[in-house]
């Protein structure tokens, strides 16, 4: 028997429930290829937790993989805080079986003597981060697969600072999870006395905190009737985003009723991803019908937000994540300066694949910009490490995630939706628009244009293909890309930057990560990395030009096309 067959046999003969065993037998007969995918490897508990297709087997999200993850986490919590009455907050999103997996996690934790604060129904991921800090928990769990297709679910772990696991806790928890080799090691029997329901009480405190982020109350009051179309894309945002916007003072909120319905099958969209124009089709139609000024769409767990604005021709344009972040950084720093509220030692944080325009803006205002690896957990880590020394005033990533205040330690689409609407009201008070603000930013600083290509490679063969692609880029790095010299290569796996002209090696100063960056002679940048949450390899392209004009913009966009074509053809 090979390893896959041994695992199947172990599940059929081991201490697994009959429902699971019957499903394995069904797959043996009806879909042996799917059975192999479910058993050929273990669903890895990575640095962010679990994410995978739901189903039976060690490579799927189910009672036993979630149970093992939670037992490992419980073991680590008890080792880390041996004399505490430990507690964990748990939230979940709209996905199929999210409530069930949350209940399984509550069962295991309480059975291990750990108090559980379990949300009474679905809630946004950022509220879970907030709750961990508010309730002084040892850790937090949220059941979500963000914007993945409907067959997926996931399990994200937060530490006591409210941020996702980082070193050393990530690797230590992983080690504890991998030590669970048998379901008999998992304590599944709930201690109901240790499971406490939370909900509206935390909602109020969280929304009260978000209200303090407001920087332009007068502009909001003057433009309180600005039309805002909002869709939660069937997800958790419907619970709090409309209420948060209302608290800020916006009175003309227009919903998309079909998408207000919480449904893990996401019936009105192919993918509940606010990065994709197709996901906002119904919201755009609603905006066209009502003449709304702004479109906001949050993903299922409401940590990321997509934005649509109206141009001078009355057409709706979707901003990308870099453009939204640039507007928010510029707006925040401008208003903090104008109102005299800029704190001492202000700082912001962005990821290495996010536009460098954010750094340009921050530098102009005398604000330090920290740069971290891809993943909001690294932004949260910087906030924690700099507490008492520097004051966080904002930060984000190109994938539509942003955070404007440090009482949450993850990207927060509830807070960000309010900030975007407020920036639009402020722009209107200045006689301009969101697109007008972008023009102002590009004119004052530099024009940047970016693009992302994601290649999906599923299954056993896909995983190997992605690994082979990264190996090839690493061992046979191109000397030129689209006829432009590569002047430096940053390899975050080895932790080194190579300057081609001098052959000088420097340290990146960041943790090890399977990421490559190529810097070209004209300042363009290309980043290649496997996704940490999906079976994809991602290519990020950034081109800039100093003078903002229609000709320069056209030239930059053409150069961007050349760069993307180079990688598409190779």
Residues with catalytic roles: 146
Helices (H), 386-433: 413-429
Question: First CA to last CA across the chain, in angstroms?
Answer: 39
DSSP, collapsed to helix, strand or coil, labels residue 502 as coil
The DSSP symbol for 67 reads H
Gyration radius of the chain's alpha carbons: 24
The rounded distance, in Å, linking the Cα atoms of 67 and 73 is 10
Q: How far apart are CA 457 and CA 530, in angstroms?
A: 10
Q: What is the DSSP letter of 451?
A: E
Cα gap 157→132, rounded to integer Å: 11
Return the SS3 of 133. helix
Q: How far, CA to CA in Å, does 215 sit from each of 80, 348, 413?
A: 40, 17, 17
The rounded distance, in Å, linking the Cα atoms of 354 and 401 is: 11
For 368, counting Cβ atoms within 10 Å of its Cβ (0-12 exposed, 13-18 middle, 19+ buried), the class is middle
Pairing verdict, β 516-520 and 484-491: antiparallel
Among candidates 412, 368, 358, which has minimal Cα distance to 163? 412
Residue 13 makes CB contacts below 8 A (sequence gap 6+) with none
Distances, alpha carbon 483 to alpha carbons 441, 480, 486, 563, in Å: 30, 6, 9, 9
The span from the CA of 519 to the CA of 527, in Å, is: 9
């Amino acid at each position: 028997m090979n390893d896959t067959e041994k695992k199947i046999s172990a599940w059929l003969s081991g201490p697994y429930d009959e429902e699971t065993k019957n499903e394995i037998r069904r797959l043996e007969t009806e879909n042996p290829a799917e059975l192999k995918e479910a058993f050929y490897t273990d669903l890895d508990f990575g640095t962010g937790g679990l994410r995978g297709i739901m189903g039976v087997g060690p490579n799927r999200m189910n009672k036993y993989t979630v149970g093992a993850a939670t037992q490992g986490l419980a073991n680590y919590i008890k080792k880390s805080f041996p004399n505490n009455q430990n507690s964990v907050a748990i939230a979940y999103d709209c996905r199929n079986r999210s409530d069930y997996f949350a209940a399984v996690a509550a069962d295991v934790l309480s059975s291990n003597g750990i108090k559980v604060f379990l949300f009474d129904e679905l809630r946004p991921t950022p509220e879970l981060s907030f709750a961990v800090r508010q309730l002084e928990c040892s850790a937090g769990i949220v059941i979500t697969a963000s914007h993945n297709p409907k067959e997926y679910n996931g399990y994200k772990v937060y530490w006591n600072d409210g941020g996702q696991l980082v070193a050393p806790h990530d690797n230590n928890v992983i080690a504890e999870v991998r030590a669970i080799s048998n379901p008999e090691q998992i304590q599944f029997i709930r201690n109901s006395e240790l499971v406490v329901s939370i909900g509206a009480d935390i909602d109020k405190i969280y929304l009260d905190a978000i209200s303090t982020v407001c920087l332009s109350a007068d502009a909001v009051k003057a433009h309180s009737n600005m039309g805002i179309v909002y869709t939660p894309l069937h997800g958790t945002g419907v619970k709090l985003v409309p209420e948060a916007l209302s608290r800020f003072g916006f009175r003309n909120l227009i919903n998309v009723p079909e998408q207000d319905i919480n449904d893990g099958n996401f019936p009105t969209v192919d993918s509940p991803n606010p990065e994709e124009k197709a996901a906002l089709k119904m919201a755009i139609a609603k905006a066209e019908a009502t003449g709304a000024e702004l479109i906001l769409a949050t993903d299922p767990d409401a940590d990321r937000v997509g934005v649509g604005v109206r141009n001078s021709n009355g057409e709706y344009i979707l901003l990308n994540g870099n453009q939204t972040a640039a507007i928010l950084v510029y707006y925040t720093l401008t208003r903090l300066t104008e109102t005299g509220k800029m704190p001492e030692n202000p700082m912001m944080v962005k990821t290495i694949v996010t536009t460098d325009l954010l750094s340009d803006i921050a530098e102009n205002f005398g604000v330090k910009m920290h740069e971290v690896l891809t993943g909001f957990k690294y932004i949260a880590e910087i906030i924690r490490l700099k507490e008492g020394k520097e004051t966080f005033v904002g930060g984000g990533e190109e994938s539509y995630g942003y955070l404007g205040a440090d009482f949450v330690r993850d990207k927060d689409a509830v807070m960000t939706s309010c900030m975007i609407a407020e920036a639009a009201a402020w722009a209107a008070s200045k006689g301009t628009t969101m697109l007008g603000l972008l023009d102002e930013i590009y004119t004052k600083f530099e024009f940047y244009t970016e693009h992302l290509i994601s290649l999906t490679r599923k299954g056993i063969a896909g995983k190997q293909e992605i690994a082979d692609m990264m190996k090839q880029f690493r061992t046979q790095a191109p000397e030129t890309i689209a006829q432009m010299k590569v002047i430096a290569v940053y390899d975050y796996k080895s932790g080194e930057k190579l300057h081609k002209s001098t052959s000088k090696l420097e340290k990146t100063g960041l943790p090890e990560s399977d990421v490559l960056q190529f810097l070209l002679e004209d300042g363009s940048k290309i980043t290649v990395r496997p996704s940490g949450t999906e079976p994809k390899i991602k290519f990020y392209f950034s081109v800039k030009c100093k003078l903002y004009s229609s000709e320069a913009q056209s030239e930059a966009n053409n150069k961007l096309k050349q760069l993307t074509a180079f990688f598409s053809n190779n």
